[in-house]
Amino acid sequence: DTAVSQTPKYLVTQMGNDKSIKCEQNLGHDTMYWYKQDSKKFLKIMFSYNNKELIINETVPNRFSPKSPDKAHLNLHINSLELGDSAVYFCASSQEAGGTEAFFGQGTRLTVV
Amino acid sequence: QQQVKQSPQSLIVQKGGISIINCAYENTAFDYFPWYQQFPGKGPALLIAIRPDVSEKKEGRFTISFNKSAKQFSLHIMDSQPGDSATYFCAASRGQAGTALIFGKGTTLSVSS
């Protein structure tokens, strides 16, 4: 039974399109995160939600908008996709603050062509 | 400004050898230091973590050594096996609401048989 699941696993789309990535965790955690892993494997925090409330919003283009309908779900919507958005996006969750004992999903590889 | 510096970028170790990966941090407010292991196509998985009140933590073949005064911590993998070949990330966080894991740039470990 997957703890943090993301869909889709792969996403190939054209520049200018709008796409969404969904994330669900069944761990009962209060905090969820979106990380971006670039082509050099660097992991960078994008957003964090605690109990549906946005608590971290790093310097990310406004085209990226997270949405948390409930504390088990955190989705990422991206408008007007650009080539530079190509990366692997990871959802994660943790019970305690600060990413302590955070569990990561399997990632969504986004390719913008 | 890179808050967590990791070295080396890549490492080749013979089977049965010791793998050592080092990290240095700048923010003295960090109080949680995990190591994550990532296999190709998978999400990062928590391997072992330490807090600043202890200088060493061991779990099986994996040991974290922590030097608070030098602001450094390292991962030692004893009796390295081909199955340990993966990318390893150190991270740090303040463990408080509104914070998240800050990752090092990763080390690609190859264990040759």
**What percentage of chain A carries pLDDT values higher than 70?**
99
- Banded model confidence at residue A69, pLDDT cuts 50, 70, 90: very high
| Residue A57 in this model has a pLDDT that exceeds 90 | no
First and final C-alpha spacing in chain A: 34
Single-letter amino acid, residue A45: I
| Residue B1 in this model has a pLDDT that exceeds 70 | no
- Banded model confidence at residue A98, pLDDT cuts 50, 70, 90: confident
d(CA A22, CA A86): 17
Q: How many residues belong to chain B? A: 113
d(CA A32, CA A90): 11
User: What is the nearest CA distance from B73 to chain A, expressed in angstroms?
Assistant: 17
Query: pLDDT tens digits for B59-104?
Result: 999 999 999 999 999 999 999 999 999 999 999 999 888 889 999 9
**Are the beta carbons of A100 and B97 separated by less than 8 Å?**
no
Give residue A31's pLDDT: 94
d(CA B101, CA B51): 14
Determine which of B47, B59, B87, B103 to mutate to test the interface with A (most A C-beta atoms within 10 Å). B103
Q: B59 in helix, strand or coil?
A: strand
